[in-house]
Structure 1
C-alpha cells in the first residue's frame, strides 16, 4: 500500500495510490496519515478498502511529506563504505547518529532553499524508515516488526555549516527545506527485499549518485535495534539510513548546488522526487 498526503502546506489530506496509479482520497476513513494511522490495525483496515470506491483526486496537486507530525528525524551517517571513503573518513564500527530538525521537512517536490551564508550545499539520496510501533530496547530479531514502511528522503546538507563551523553535524543538516520526504510511504509488506533497492540521484539530468542498499554497512533491522538502545522510537519517527557515494563534496573538484539546479531522486518501488533549488530571500 502506498500512502501519501496531498494539498497546500498545512492543509494536506490523506490519500493512497490505486493499482492503476490514480490517487484516491482517504479523508472519509482517516483524518491524516499520522502516527495513529500507522497502527497495524488501522493499516489493515485501509488495506482492505477497495480503491475504486474511494473519491478520485483529480488534476495536478502538490504532494506533501507522507507522514504528518513526525516526532524525530534520526539519521545514520557514513552507512555506505564507499561514501565513507569519498568523505575521507574511516568506516564506522557502530552506526554514526545525528538528528535533522523536523522544521526541515518539506514535500518531495517542494523547492529546496539554499540558506543564508551557505557555500557548499550538497545532496544525499537516502532510504527512509517510518516507525509504526514504539521501539524501546528492541532486539534485532524483532526490529522489522516495528517498521510501518519506507520512503525516499533527500538529506540535503550544507557542508560548510556541517564541517567548518564547529560542534556537531546538525548545523549543516537542519536548515529549512533540507528534508524532502516522499512521495509515498510504502508499507513494509510491499517491499520484497529492503536489502536490494536501487538508489539514484541526478542534478540537472546528470547522474551523481547510483547505489544499492545491499552495500549498506548496517542493515535496516540492525539500525532500528541500535537506535532503540539510546532513544525510544515512536510511531511516525523517520530514520534516514545513509547515502551511497556520489555526493558533491566527494567530487574532484567538489561541486555544490546553486540556484536554478534541479535534483531528481528515486528508489526502487518508492517513487521519485524532484526539487528545484532556489536562493534564500528575506
Structure 2
C-alpha cells in the first residue's frame, strides 16, 4: 500500500498524490480517474482498496509547492492539552490531560500562511503529532483503538493565548481561528501501530529548535487517547486528533509569533510542515 499521501490543488479540484523523494505524483484509479481525498476518506475503511491498484506516474510538482491539508474535510478535529507533563509544568497548570474541539475550518496545509488577525495579541505555536482515524470507533478498548488509526502527520495547534487566558474564552475559540490548524505536509499511512510508538517531534522557529518531545513522554498514548475519546463520542473515518505538545512554547517566556516568522514542525520520518506567519496591523 502507498505510504505517503498529499492533497494537491489540481485543475478545478483537490486530488491525492503519492509522495516520493520530495516529488508529487498524481494518483489515478484503474479507470484512469484521479483519486480525490473526499472519495478516499468518505469511503473508509473499504475505500483503502483504491490505493492498492492506483497508478502514480504523472508528476505534478514537489514539496516546494503549497499543499492542502492531507484530510481537507474531517467531521471532527479534536485536541488534547497537557498530554506532556513538562508542558503542563511550564504553563503552571494541572498535569491532567484535557480535551477540546477545533473547528475544521481552521485547517490549512503546507506552506500556507498562518494569518493572525489584528485583535489577537499573543499568538503562540504548538507543534504536535496528528493522528487520523481510519474506521468508525465507539466504546473501544486499547486494542481496537490501535487498529483504528490510519496514519499520522505533523500539525501546529496555533493558539491565541490572550483569548485562552486573559479573556478566558473557551479553548475551542482560541484555537479555531482561520489558518490556526496547519497539518501535513502529507499523511503517512501505517500498517502496524508499532510505527507510532517511537515517534518524536521537533518545532523550529526561524530555524531555531524550540520544542522536542517523543511519544514515550506522553501521559496518554495514541491508542489510549482514541479509546478514551470513544467513550464520549463516535469517532469517524478521517477524524483528526492533535495529540499534545511538548515543552518549549512561546507563552511562558513572552515570545509570541511575529510578522514574518517561519514555523516548521518535524515528525520522525516525515518532511517538515512549513508555515510562514503574517500578522495584521491594527487600524489607527
C-alpha distance in 1, partners of 2:161/2:213? Answer: 21
Counterpart position of 2:261: 261
C-alpha distance in 1, partners of 2:67/2:52? Answer: 21
* TM-score normalised by L of structure 2: 0.89
- Taking a change above 3 Å as real, the CA distance of residues 96 and 10 of structure 1, as seen in their structure-2 partners, is farther
Paired residue secondary structure (1:227): helix
Q: Structure 1, unaligned stretches of length 5 or more?
A: none
Kindly provide the CA deviation profile for residues 157-204 of structure 1, in whole angstroms up to 9, marking residues without a partner as x: 010011121342112100110000101111122775312212111111
C-alpha distance in 1, partners of 2:91/2:22? Answer: 39
Counterpart position of 1:116: 118
Q: Return the offset for 1:21.
A: 4.0
Asked if the contact 1:36–1:235 (Cα under 8 Å) also holds between the matched residues in 2, the reply is no
Counterpart position of 1:270: 270
Paired residue secondary structure (1:259): coil
Paired residue secondary structure (1:103): helix
- Taking a change above 3 Å as real, the CA distance of residues 8 and 98 of structure 1, as seen in their structure-2 partners, is farther
C-alpha distance in 2, partners of 1:273/1:4? Answer: 12
Match status 1:76 vs 2:77? no
Counterpart position of 1:16: 18
Q: CA RMSD in A?
A: 2.2
Counterpart position of 1:39: 44
Q: Structure 2, unaligned stretches of length 5 or more?
A: none
Counterpart position of 2:89: 85
How many residues matched? 275
C-alpha distance in 1, partners of 2:255/2:155? Answer: 21
Q: Return the offset for 1:68.
A: 2.5
Q: Which moved more, 1:156-165 or 1:54-63?
A: 54-63
Asked if the contact 1:98–1:170 (Cα under 8 Å) also holds between the matched residues in 2, the reply is yes
C-alpha distance in 1, partners of 2:207/2:111? Answer: 16
